[in-house]
Structure 1
């Protein structure tokens, strides 16, 4: 798999001003039909009358990198596919928008963006549930665990990546994935094991390099997890053995890819190897529901459609529409679960940020539908064939569905690989991108019930989502934070050279680089 960091793209035929104007129009259009939250009431004051008494389940879905234009493009794509006035399941549940800036930048990264959801606090780009003063902040998942809830994480990226990590780990840098893997199974976490279920990719950070992994030490975290009572599944056969969650034994660790699970546009041809986001979602919900059937408390789970973001970084519109549609199917699966389950519950869905500066007002969905693979996949195939020009033309025809590519376009593909494929399909589909990084665009908030989530109607800071979740769960995050601050653990052996259980604090230079990562196109996105 290619790494999840992508080189930035220069603006294409759409200029910054055009993209900004399109984004502004989209935001105004959406917000014109959204009732605004009462200015005189806080989220907490509004919410007090919305929380059900007794047992409840709370499901947070995060569509990483999905902005309003991503939804528009996916809707047009589905409409073209079905030949009807098709809408997404998401469309009937839009209640507001979120402002996404971090504590040190108008453009957040996933670590800071998701920490706003998990802790209800702003922090610096790169921080994993750690505040700007390098102290840990209690998360809604940790609060839920302390209150007796079962807990889970599902992702299509590495389960140690920023968004899932911020709910069950604390690290001064998102790059400390070896450390995050340990904390996710309860090793060196001050509060002990916090997770009952983990499903996703990222096996390499759970295995030493001597055993096919990518850890910097010799620890076998999968073996360690088993010794702590985890059941483990690591392939499609093992996943199928869970029987949709009915045969799951908690705590459960499921790692189905060394790195990220492939883009949905590619995964669909490998369904016998990798489970889909919808399948993992249904399995997780069933497993957690069964495990809490006789409990006084329900469960909390975070489910991430991780690779919408990666498609945005790669400026790949075909990969992105398939990711958004896959997320929409998982969203529908959660709605179905809530309708059928006897325990009251709520679904909140939002994005941590928008990626790519997408402008899709003139997008041609028929071109996207003709694309069979992601630019990432096609770029890897071309690289494996030494950049052969004949292979490049064949990949353009069979992979992108473009049979009239000019010699100049083929030259660009040969020269630029993945980037060349992405630029070609974007140009043909008339999709514009302004960056290969993140943007400051407001992102949508969705809920299973407007009434239950009335406190989030309108426009809000992303931290208000974290506050809402904590209040709905009836957990005290300040109390969890005090417990974390009062405990110090030192790993016996670490992948990083520091005595802190959260890893070495970042230097001023490192913090500055993260601050400008998505706004300075001379650095990586």
Structure 2
């Protein structure tokens, strides 16, 4: 099904090429009733449209979960190597860097994704594990809720479970991030405000139905209450999309009936390097679909839309210490950001795009001392380039192997073919052959890649390093305002405060409206609830 490039990297089949090109063609060919082409001035600046002072606005907030500054350095050099680019070639994100963000939680210098996302969503600090609640476990009004109550359309796009920490913090209120079944209920409108989300695209189908539910939705539902929220959502008027073929029928957003619930995987969508294009859309395709659908829905409205887009699995690659998956996740996000910018440039509606991370994951270093002697000043992107699959994928292949010669399977299929490691040692193969713990196997495979590439990691968890802030607007006065408020170094809460002010939202009043939301866990789920802060949940993608 694949052929080989000049460096041995497998190419996608022709249909994959079409799927890569098609989003760009759709962007260019969108109807004139939706997009207005803008022309550059002679000095390279953008021509402002006649509705420069219109109150109609679009806000696209990008979260690169787990992406720290070193992720950009690593990915930039990887891309230069992979595409034979000049050493001064940079990513799209690099062109829009404006500052950095401090990430600590209310109860720790090192935040988790829940507290980090709540800081953006509610513009306040909270404890690790908190989803849309303050440090006293009181529900706090979010940007998404405030936007919806003010007349904006709203959307969530992720590559993890739609009930995970970041999307959950914008659309639900629970004491602990493990309460994903309850998050799903609230996202569909089962709480005091009613439905606040117009569009959801991501994974996490498992939290919307149980294993006893109608099999047409799958057989891996995990809800404990036996409910089928997908069936209920359809009865309540939601358009439901559950696979790639149904997603393709959306025509990248031109054929969408809102509200839309698109659950494209039971758990998380696979890493981009493992993603079967016949089964799962890219983050770029998801983003284009969401922006186009929300733009169409608001074309006759005085208000625009608020959209959250998360590059979710950058974080998972960091937790797993997998540099091959990490760089490809960052590139996938970079393409999504570029696609959103292209759409903004063609829109007459004032649009701002702000991107940052909730935290850094893994303590990533673009160097590693692999000998006792003085270290070399090198790292080798070709090791990452030659890897065809992630450690997550390979460890699953090993765990599922049913043959009689596991050792040779690991040598030839996993190490040589999937990871392009030919200098493996006997002790490495012996460990992978006898070890039955999949986490341990995954760690070993990723360390074999990291060691050979001379990439360093300090943790399987998060770090407290400041993360970058990026921004763009299709209107100069709006970009100037962003720089005025967010250029330089800022607390993560200031980013949420800025977006609330930009959309003229009163989050205090929204907080009063959600105060009575059911948010505490019931007794059956209370034991060990804090263990969810252990983000090793992400180390094995079920």
Q: Note whether the superposition's TM-score is higher than 0.5.
A: yes
Q: Distance in 2 between matches of 1:241 and 1:234?
A: 11
Aligned residues: 453
Q: Structure 1, residues 398-446: CA drift from partner, whole Å, max 9, x if none?
A: 1111122121222233334211110100101110000000000100000
Structure 2 CA distance for partners of 1:137 and 1:432, relative to 1, 3 Å? same
Render the CA deviation track for 1:191-237: whole Å, top value 9, x for unaligned. 00010000000101011121320111110000111121100010001
* Change in CA separation of 1:370 and 1:52 when aligned onto 2, cut-off 3 Å: farther
| Structure 2 counterpart of 1:442 | 466
Over aligned residue pairs, what C-alpha RMSD do you find?
2.0
In the alignment, which of 482, 485, 506 is matched to residue 453 of structure 1? 482
Aligned to 2:447: 423
State whether residues 112 and 122 of structure 1, in contact with CA within 8 Å, keep that contact through their aligned partners in structure 2: yes
Partners in 2 of 1:220 and 1:287 — Cα distance?
26
- Pair 1:285 & 2:273 matched: no
Per-residue CA deviation, residues 344-388 of structure 1 (Å, 9 max, x unaligned), is 110000000000000014431111000000000000001111692
Is 1:399–2:418 an aligned residue pair? yes
Q: State the 1:518 CA deviation.
A: 7.7
**Preserved CA contact (<8 Å) 1:73 1:363:** no
Distance in 1 between the 2:379 and 2:310 partners? Answer: 26
| 1:390 is aligned to 2:400 | no
SS in 2 for 1:302: strand
Note the alpha carbon deviations across 1:57-86, whole angstroms, 9 max, x for none.
Answer: 000000000000011100001000121122
**Of 337, 347, 357, which residue of structure 2 is paired with 1:341?**
347
Equivalent pair of 2:178/2:529 in contact (CA under 8 Å): no
Correspondence 1:240-251 to 2 at 5 A:
240-251=248-259
Would you say 1:218 and 2:236 are equivalent positions?
no
Please state if 1:310 is matched with 2:316. Answer: yes
Residues of 2 paired with 1:317 and 1:87: CA distance? 19
Q: Which moved more, 1:413-422 or 1:220-229?
A: 413-422
Gaps of 5+ in 1: 1-50, 520-525
- What's 2:183 paired with? 180
* Alignment deviations for residues 122-162 of structure 1 (CA, whole Å, 9 cap, x no partner): 00000101011111000000000000000000000000000
- Do structure 1's residue 371 and structure 2's residue 387 form an aligned pair? yes
TM-score when scaled to structure 1?
0.83
Match of 2:365 among 359, 362, 386: 359
Q: TM-score, normalised to structure 2's length?
A: 0.81
Structure 2 gaps of 5+ residues are: 1-51, 214-218, 368-377, 474-478, 537-542
Indicate yes or no: 2:538 matched with 1:497. Answer: no
Deviation, 1:488, is: 5.2
Relative to structure 1, is the Cα distance of residues 122 and 514 closer, same or farther in structure 2, using a 3 angstrom cutoff?
farther
CA contact under 8 A between 2:177 and 2:532: conserved in structure 1? Answer: no
Residue 306 and residue 518 in structure 1: after superposition, are their counterparts in 2 closer, same or farther (change >3 A)? closer
- Contact 1:265-1:374 at 8 Å conserved across structures: yes
- RCO comparison, higher one (Cα < 8 Å, 6+): 1
- Inter-partner Cα distance in structure 2 for 1:514 and 1:181: 17
